[in-house]
Amino acid sequence: MQTKTDLKNFSLSQLESLSDELVGRKYPGRQLFQWIHRHNITEFSGMTSLSKEFRELLSENHYVSRAEIVNTMTSENDRTRKLLLKLADGAMIETVWIPGSNRNTICVSSQVGCPLACRFCLTGTMKLKRDLTAGEIAEQVYSVKSVLSGGDDFQNIVFMGMGEPFLNYDNVVAGAELLMSDHGLGVAQKRITFSTVGIVPGIYRLADSGLKTMLAVSLHAANDDLRSEIVPINKKYPLSELRTAMKHYADTTGRRLTIEYCLIDGINDTLESAKDLVKFIHDLPCKINLLAYNPAPGLPPEFRRPSEKSIARFTDYLYPRCPAVTFRKSRGADILAACGQLASNRNESV
């Protein structure tokens, strides 16, 4: 018995080629792409601009997947919305819509779980179950759009959800390209940010790809011993290698990096850690986003959110010495939707 193929993973050119093969014309493939990625239609019967012949031929060996929205949660504090999605094989992922004062953001996952086990991140406790496909990556945005109302939408997409994007580089880029296509949602490249915890080969690949997307690096410590303790992948890609890759990205693309730094009380929020960070970013065109650690069940009990005084001391030391420093208020912490709190394994019994 032949297994049907999911067309949600197909690029525009692949759908055009399939259309040419089945009905001798490429244009219906473009219409098919629009039905899937602009209108979020998954049943061929609903793709009314396609000929009956084309739809029947498609249904013989193909289908279009749709994730099941198992649960949605809305923060009472800031309207952040978290979706629990069940994929075709039963795997669960979480994605988050984050409202802002002048722009809204969708935080997208790239893997089911994560193999990197950063100590402040709940996703790492799941370990890696599998990579997401390009279609499953794009599907998260379509799912979020389907539950928004009252004029809510999104402007930015950040790959900061479950998983490490650069360990699933090809599918992540392919998923982003589905979202960026003018025949889909047409998301501007500069509105998409890939966030890596420091997968050096991925940084080089993105720098040399020609893509105009943005890059964020989750640093969290600028001392090798401390960073290796918090972010174990630092043992494979130490700070010297990471910094060289980041400089290559900045020099090659001409774009400013974003450095994400999660402050943990008594661990990496000291004045010494601030001095290490200032040394690390020397001559790197970057902005620094500071955020406070978000506790969650299952994370180390010795990890605590820093005090306001500690946050202010760290920020005040950086501000005159760094080109741009912001403190990012966590959104959705009351529904475990903030940075480091996503982990679908607690929901698998839903």
pLDDT in tens, 292-302: 998 888 899 99
Report the pLDDT value the prediction gives residue 1, as an integer from 0 to 100.
Answer: 54
CB 132 within 8 A of CB 177: no
Report the pLDDT value the prediction gives residue 346, as an integer from 0 to 100.
Answer: 55
Q: How far is CA 283 from the centre of its chain?
A: 27
Q: Kindly tell me if the per-residue pLDDT of 349 is higher than 60.
A: no
Q: What share of the chain is helix, strand, coil (3-state, %, to 5)?
A: 40, 20, 40
Spot the catalytic one: 107, 114, 322, 339.
Answer: 339
Q: Kindly tell me if the per-residue pLDDT of 338 is higher than 70.
A: no
| Interior angle at CA 120, CA 115 and CA 126, nearest 5 | 35
User: Is 339 tagged catalytic?
Assistant: yes
Report the pLDDT value the prediction gives residue 150, as an integer from 0 to 100.
Answer: 84
Report the pLDDT value the prediction gives residue 220, as an integer from 0 to 100.
Answer: 97
pLDDT in tens, 179-213: 999 999 999 999 999 999 999 999 999 999 999 99
User: Is 262 tagged catalytic?
Assistant: no
CB 326 within 8 A of CB 289: yes
pLDDT in tens, 150-184: 889 999 999 999 999 999 999 999 999 999 999 99
- The residue among 80, 1, 22 whose CA lies nearest residue 339 is 80
Domains with residue ranges and CATH for the chain: 5-63 (1.10.150.530), 68-347 (3.20.20.70)
Spot the catalytic one: 16, 94, 139, 164.
Answer: 94
- The residue among 315, 314, 292 whose CA lies nearest residue 303 is 292
Mean pLDDT for 25-38 is 98
CB 127 within 8 A of CB 178: no
Q: What is the DSSP string of 277-326?
A: HHHHTTT--EEEEEEE----TTS-TT--PPPHHHHHHHHHHHTTTSS-EE
Report the pLDDT value the prediction gives residue 333, as an integer from 0 to 100.
Answer: 77
pLDDT in tens, 224-283: 999 999 999 999 999 999 999 999 999 999 999 999 999 999 999 999 999 999 999 999
Report the pLDDT value the prediction gives residue 53, as an integer from 0 to 100.
Answer: 97
